[in-house]
Structure 1
């Protein structure tokens, strides 16, 4: 055990515990909503990261791997499953033929909008409960 752990108060641990609890509650909600819509939680996250990628309407496999915190070969397999389900499609980049772009298809977009609406409502219902803990880890 590090000496710093002695510096944390009971309140600090309660704050961190509550944060993790609320985060897990939201994650469980999200997983259940995705399954109820007929897709896996990872398929939902992939589509969310494609649509939510800053500045454009597509993302590369490498960018998606970073966003999903996964290995590229796992994301390639996930994209293949999403393609088979009619959610996304791969396109060779017109700017760089070595790069593959992942784009949402209309069916994927419709599912994503439906799920994002549910997620927004859930987040609004959690207002004031899902707070990022502020713990001063460096205070002696």
Structure 2
């Protein structure tokens, strides 16, 4: 570990915190929490499907399954998601976006995409 490494780590943490603060502002302006936005994003974040299980969402959110289930319930009460039994395994529950949830997600994701671009993350943009 040298001074250059510490400077790079400091710059990364600063950018990360700026991004998180801006993300909070975007979600809050829309009337939802950052965690609710992240849940909506992760529901659509799996290849070849538009749903996720509570366990998958917990992993993506790095949260406890029971806390994630409570978050899904809050999103369900807000009309953003709905639960459906998995047709292949009735013990599993799929979380799907409602039209309202999809609308929220698309609007907020567009704002976040512009924000990612400012940090040159996610979409392969590089400086210099």
Q: Which has the larger radius of gyration?
A: 1
Aligned partner (choices 100, 103, 113) of residue 96 of structure 2: 103
For residue 52 of structure 1, report the CA deviation from its aligned partner: 1.2
Consecutive unaligned residues of structure 1, counting only runs of 5 or more, are 1-7, 129-140
Name the structure 2 match of 1:52: 45
CA distance in 1, matches of 2:48, 2:58: 18
Match of 1:64 among 29, 38, 57: 57
For 1:21 and 1:119, how far apart are their aligned partners in 2?
Answer: 17
CA distance in 1 between partners of 2:63 and 2:76 (Å)? 18
Q: In the aligned structure 1, how far is the partner of 2:9 from the partner of 2:46?
A: 29
Alignment match, 2:22:
29
Measured in 2, the distance between the counterparts of 1:116 and 1:48 equals 8
Match of 1:59, SS? Answer: strand
Corresponding pairs, count: 121
What root-mean-square deviation, in Å, do the aligned CA atoms of Structure 1 and Structure 2 show?
1.0
TM-score, normalised to structure 2, is 0.91
Counterpart position of 1:78: 71
Whether 1:124 and 2:98 are equivalent positions in the alignment is no
> Deviation digits for residues 51-99 of structure 1, max 9, x if unmatched?
1122211000000010000111001100000000000000001110000
Higher relative contact order (Cα pairs below 8 Å, separated by 6+ residues):
1
Runs of 5+ consecutive residues of structure 2 not aligned to the other structure: 122-128
Ranges of 4+ aligned residues in structure 1 off by more than 4 Å: none
Aligned partners of 1:35 and 1:93: how far apart in 2? 32
